[in-house]
A and B are shown apart, each in its own frame.
Chain A
């Protein structure tokens, strides 16, 4: 078995009532395995032991350039967030009047382009490899939600540039938003509202979903190639059937 042993073991081993002198309760495995905390720890350790979060081996079939698109997307997002933090700290007018500010805006602009380029390439790669197989449908779905949320995040970003582009995009988008009935609570002409949504609310949602997406991938591992399916060992009771 590849998962870590020790922490999170559910074996009931008879132990003295309290910790031995000079040790703490956590030094005695098996004693404190009841309660919510222990249950969460067991679940986490079962699904995501450290060896899987930070693996040093991978299946040989992952040796293809198609597999780098995901991590490059995340790398681009890192620079989107860093440059975004600088722009937020310095205020929304800074980049119009400072050439350093404009440079950081350019970093933000091109990181966003890179982010979308590699996210879409990652989507293409996952589609043609049918990455949703074997119980990974939720990973695909979280990925699509990430794609859609990224689009809305970028949209609000364009709205808060405070230049001609913002004005134009806002005035055109308003009709589509209004047609859904959401125009009264999502006013694209309201800079203050769009700013808060873009700088805080959506990046938080995006980051949380990216973490979830990564956890999903790491806990299940990369899906097997099409045509080389997972075949459960008929002798083991733990296996519950063929690939999903």
Chain B
């Protein structure tokens, strides 16, 4: 006869406890049907959120100046994505570390993104068919030295500060920009036609399910962030918990997003890493509650259980 551990030998474990009849399958059935009814009613009455995706096309149409400003920053390698660091680029514009601990840098570049090439030059080179002006502008730019390219781009970027829309084209005060205005103008047309959304996605091959490039490009501009702000989705607005429209969001992320609202997390450049570390520690704490003195004793000290088992305690005193 093998030894039985307490807890497995239930007759022994429940000695002194009154047993009552119980229908497990019926309980499961009632719960399953009950939840279905609630879910069907909510679905029929409230539906679910579905705000359509933003596109580069919509962006280029709605805010051409912002689009061109972003495109110029990609071409000059000054955009957030261009300077991000691993996993996209070398550099460290957006990498996070805690003292000497920098897992992001250690992991290295595994999703290579070449901002000037991927976001501007490559799509444009695919759009030169029948467009001799664009073809020669591209040649001029590519043949110029890095120093010359930087000079054109710096001048153009500064000029964009006072850009206006003339005949739906982005117009800047005259200056020495080389072929850059032509490149930007063609990229804007490409974007407005929807072609840039497609080229950024499928530039390598026919089938594609990886939206890294179009998403990073869109995120470098002001238009997309503006859309999120209008829906209270940004991080400083407890965004992680929120949903578009009047729908409940991910309420279970309340503690995760709470840290982003308070110092030092809300201003630290490594705020994300700090929050990840804090939440990892707290999650481990939750996992190990049965072993943490104090935390595991709170249920004894604050006797909510006296409500749960009040009938049982009453019968014990009899």
Contacts and interface: CB of A to CB of B under 8 A. Distances in A.
State yes or no: do A and B touch (Cβ within 8 Å): yes
Given A134-B13, A184-B111, A189 B270 contact: no
A227 B106 CA distance: 52
B299 interface: yes
Contacts of B14: 59, 221, 224
A4 to B, nearest CB: 13
A114 B219 contact: no
By CB atoms of chain A within 10 A, which of B7, B27, B224, B239 has the most? Answer: B7
A61 B311 CA distance: 7
A81 B210 CA distance: 25
B12 A232 contact: yes
A240 B5 contact: yes
Given A46-B8, A178-B104, A168 B2 contact: no
B218 A56 contact: no
A226 B91 CA distance: 57
A140 B24 contact: no
Interface in A68-119: 68, 71-72, 74-76, 78-79, 95-96, 102-103, 105-111, 113-114, 116
Interface stretch (B46-54, B180-188, B189-197): B46-54
A148 interface: yes
Nearest to A116: B252
B165 interface: no
A228 B143 CA distance: 85
Contact of B43 (A58, A107, A145, A241): A107
A234 to B, nearest CB: 12
B17 A60 contact: yes
Contact of B12 (A95, A181, A233): A233
Given A46-B8, A163-B52, A180 B103 contact: yes
Interface in A34-59: 42, 46-47, 52, 54-59
A193 to B, nearest CB: 8
Contacts of A63: 20, 311
B15 A180 contact: no
Contacts of A179: 95-96, 103-104, 270, 272-273, 276
A114 B235 contact: no
Contacts of B107: 181-184
A75 B32 contact: yes
A105 B233 CA distance: 21
A3 B302 CA distance: 37
A59 B18 CA distance: 6
B10 A221 contact: yes
By CB atoms of chain B within 10 A, which of A58, A95, A96 has the most? Answer: A58
Interface in A14-28: none
Nearest to B253: A151
B contact residues, range: 35 or more
A136 B7 contact: yes
B172 interface: no
Contact of B210 (A58, A129, A163, A190): A190
Interface in B286-318: 286-291, 296, 299-300, 302-305, 308-309, 311-313, 315-316
B50 A129 contact: no
A5 interface: no
Given A128-B299, A151-B253, A238-B4, A184 B110 contact: yes
Contacts of B167: none
B28 A75 contact: yes
Interface string B214-257: 01101100001001100001010001100110011011110000
Given A107-B43, A151-B252, A164 B21 contact: no
B227 A164 contact: yes
A202 interface: no
B312 A225 contact: yes
A162 B5 CA distance: 51
Interface string B18-54: 1111111101100110111011101110111111111
Given A135-B6, A137-B290, A226-B300, A125 B308 contact: yes
Contacts of A189: 210-212, 215-216
A172 to B, nearest CB: 6
A2 B10 contact: yes
A140 B25 contact: no
A151 B252 CA distance: 8
A241 B2 CA distance: 17
Contacts of A58: 19-20, 22
Contact of B7 (A105, A221, A227): A221
The 10 closest A-B pairs by CB, nearest first: A184-B110, A192-B209, A181-B103, A106-B43, A181-B107, A132-B290, A128-B304, A75-B31, A137-B290, A179-B273
Given A63-B20, A183-B110, A226-B303, 14 more contacts: A10-B1, A46-B8, A56-B23, A59-B14, A116-B251, A128-B299, A135-B7, A140-B290, A141-B287, A165-B243, A167-B215, A176-B275, A179-B276, A228-B316
5 contacts: A75-B31, A75-B35, A103-B47, A105-B48, A221-B14
